[in-house]
């Protein structure tokens, strides 16, 4: 049952305005949220789980780099599951764009806080993996002096603490629940629309700009840093000469592995930053709109761009294991081995259950 408006609620009169269409969620938006996002979520969760199982069960996968990549996979799973559930619960049976059904501000805050944490942690983890590879390939002697379990634990603790703190500030953009009374046009298209609509809005007018800076600044700082390290890694690998006769004899295999590592570095890092770039571009538009009161897009265009950006972010969280499989035979063999092991164990359990059932019937 539709909740009636009260006198203390802000009033938005759209009864005689064409702009009412700007508040109406289109079929393409619903299709992306209720079909494409869940599909990407299922594929991404299965792929990331397969990689995690490979890291946990295959001995040769137990390296520091794979430990970091395993945390990226766990972070991606959390993002995919939580964000998909959040989008569906917020937009189910709702035709009003960007509206929410929360009754308290805490629902708004938590809905955006967790995705912000996963984004920030993924950004820092991807950079941490790049730094680890950069030192291992370009400065191997220095790498041996600075590596250690104690140092890695401290770095990871600092990484997650930074992610939580930055995300807690950024989530203030959605930390207030605003209840608005909307008067819709009298035609039948809007007959089922709720009069009382809730939105998650900034806790303070300036928090929108602060939030976008908080999320965007690390991205724009770490992007050139990662590109520099990728360039140096590829340059070092390309100019490394065989050191002895054994290595000379294995030049073909060395070149093959080198190319696999290069492709993995390029795809994994570049895909991450490209998939995040659309959301960061929208953030720049938000800052300009807030400071200069100028919007580059109409509301429907803006809503569509946000959905496309979210789809790309979903793809980014789902695609990493498939990048590993496509670009590295080492990871491909390990993941397939882990999946085959699971299937074999499942088959053995089913066979044992079948044998026990048959014995029970015989007795």
List the helix and strand counts (H, then E) for the chain: 11, 3
Q: Write the DSSP string, 99-141.
A: -B--SSHHHHHHHHHHHHHHHHHHHHHHHHHHHHHHHHHH-HH
Please tell me the predicted confidence (pLDDT) of residue 1.
Answer: 46
More confident residue, 296 or 216: 216
| Residue of higher predicted confidence among 5 and 162 | 162
**Greater confidence, 299 or 284?**
284
| More confident: 311 or 13 | 311
Q: Kindly calculate the radius of gyration of the chain based on its CA atoms and give it in whole angstroms.
A: 25
SS3 of 169-206: HHHHHHCEEEEEEEECCCCHHHCCCCCEEEEEECCCCC
pLDDT at residue 81 in the model: 92
Q: Which residue has the higher pLDDT, 264 or 321?
A: 321
CA distance 128 to 155: 9
Going by pLDDT thresholds of 50, 70 and 90, the confidence category of residue 350 is low
Q: Percent of the chain, pLDDT > 70?
A: 82
Find, among 208, 195, 177, the residue nearest to 23 by Cα: 195
| CA gap 91, 34 in Å, rounded | 9
CA distance 312 to 282: 13
Selected residue with higher pLDDT from 199 and 345: 199
Q: What ranges do the domains of the chain cover?
A: 11-336
Q: Shortest CA distance to 41 belongs to which of 86, 88, 80, 83?
A: 80
CA 278 to chain centroid: 13
Per-residue pLDDT tens for 292-326?
Answer: 877 777 777 777 788 788 889 999 999 999 988 88
Whose CA is closest to 96, among 208, 6, 12? 12
pLDDT in tens, 134-181: 888 888 777 666 666 677 788 889 999 999 999 999 999 888 888 888
Q: Whose structure tokens read 């290069």?
A: 262
Q: How far apart are the first and last CA of the chain?
A: 61
Look at residues 17, 76, 2 and name the one whose alpha carbon lies nearest to residue 321.
76
E strands, the chain, are 11-13, 176-183, 196-201
Calculate helix-pair angle for 64-91, 37-57, nearest 10 degrees. 160
Tokens of 63: 């390296």
CA angle centred on 116, ends 114 and 117, rounded to 5°: 65
Instruction: Give the pLDDT confidence of 67-123 residue by residue, as tens digits.
Output: 889 999 999 999 999 988 887 777 666 678 778 878 888 888 988 899 999 999 999
Which CATH number, 1.20.1070.10, 1.25.40.10, 3.10.290.10, 1.10.3210.10, labels domain 11-336? 1.20.1070.10
> What is the spatial distance between Cα 73 and Cα 338, in angstroms, rounded to a whole number?
15
* Residue percentage of the chain with pLDDT more than 90: 24
Best mean pLDDT range from 34-38, 44-48, 275-279: 44-48
User: Does the pLDDT at position 219 exceed 90?
Assistant: yes
Mean residue pLDDT across the chain: 81
Any idea which residue has 């009069």 for tokens?
195
Residues 63 and 81: their CA atoms lie apart, in Å, by 27
Residue 194 has pLDDT above 60, yes or no: yes
Overall pTM > 0.75: yes
Q: Could you identify the residue written with the tokens 């600044």?
A: 217
């Amino acid at each position: 049952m539709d909740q009636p408006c009260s006198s203390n609620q802000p009033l938005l009169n759209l009864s005689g305005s064409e702009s009412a269409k700007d508040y109406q969620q289109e079929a393409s938006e619903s299709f992306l949220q209720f079909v494409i996002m869940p599909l990407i979520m299922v594929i991404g969760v299965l792929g990331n789980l397969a990689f995690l199982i490979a890291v946990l069960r295959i001995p040769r996968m137990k390296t520091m780099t794979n430990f970091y990549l395993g945390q990226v996979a766990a972070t991606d799973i959390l993002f995919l599951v939580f964000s998909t559930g959040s989008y569906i619960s917020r937009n189910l049976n709702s035709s009003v764009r960007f509206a929410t059904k929360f009754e308290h501000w805490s629902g708004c805050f938590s809905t955006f806080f967790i995705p912000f944490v996963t984004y920030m942690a993924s950004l820092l983890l991807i950079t941490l993996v790049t730094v680890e590879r950069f030192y291992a390939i370009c400065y191997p002697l220095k790498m041996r002096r600075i590596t250690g379990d104690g140092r890695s634990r401290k770095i990871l603790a600092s990484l997650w603490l930074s992610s939580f703190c930055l995300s807690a500030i950024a989530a203030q953009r959605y930390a207030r629940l605003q209840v608005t009374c909307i008067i819709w046009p009298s035609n039948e298209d809007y007959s089922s629309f709720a009069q009382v609509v809730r939105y998650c809005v900034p806790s303070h007018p300036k928090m929108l700009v602060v939030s976008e800076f908080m999320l965007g600044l690390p991205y724009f700082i770490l992007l050139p840093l990662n590109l520099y390290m990728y360039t140096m890694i590829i340059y070092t690998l390309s100019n490394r000469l065989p050191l002895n006769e054994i290595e000379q004899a294995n030049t073909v295999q060395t070149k093959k592995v080198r190319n696999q590592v290069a492709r993995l570095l390029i795809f994994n890092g570049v895909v991450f930053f490209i998939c995040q770039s659309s959301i960061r571009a929208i953030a720049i538009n938000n800052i300009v709109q807030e400071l200069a009161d100028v919007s580059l897009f109409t509301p429907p265009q803006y809503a569509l761009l946000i959905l496309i950006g979210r789809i790309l972010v979903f793809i980014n969280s789902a695609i990493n294991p498939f990048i590993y499989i496509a670009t590295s035979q080492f990871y491909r063999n390990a993941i397939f081995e882990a999946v085959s092991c699971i299937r074999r164990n499942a088959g053995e359990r089913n066979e044992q259950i079948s044998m026990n059932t048959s014995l029970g019937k015989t007795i």
